[in-house]
Amino acid sequence: MGNDYKKLFRSKTNRTICGVCGGLGEYIGVDPTVIRIIWLIASICSVGTGFVVYLLAAIIIPEE
């Protein structure tokens, strides 16, 4: 029985600001650009709440 589970990290190689979207993209197996576009649309539609969530995620999610 090995460690077959994945762990969420902020990406060091695929980052634009803090690596949150890059890490989510690597974790889910989706292109990080898609994650960034979805996050941007959600942030605009939620009147900036997405930016606060991004900052919290950058603080909480450990770096790779």
Whether residue 23 contacts residue 9, with contact meaning beta carbons closer than 8 Å, is answered with yes
Token pair recorded at residue 6: 């994945």
Whole-angstrom distance, CA of residue 40 vs CA of residue 44? 6
Dihedral angle of Cα 8, 14, 16, 17, to the nearest 10 degrees:
40
Provide the β-strand partners of residue 63.
Answer: 10
- Give the tens place of pLDDT for each residue, 6-47: 888 988 888 888 889 999 998 999 999 999 999 999 989 998
What predicted TM-score, i.e. pTM, was given to this entire model?
0.78
Task: State the sign of the Cα–Cα–Cα–Cα dihedral 15, 21, 27, 29.
Answer: negative
Q: State whether residue 46 is helix, strand or coil.
A: coil
Residue 57 has a pLDDT of 92
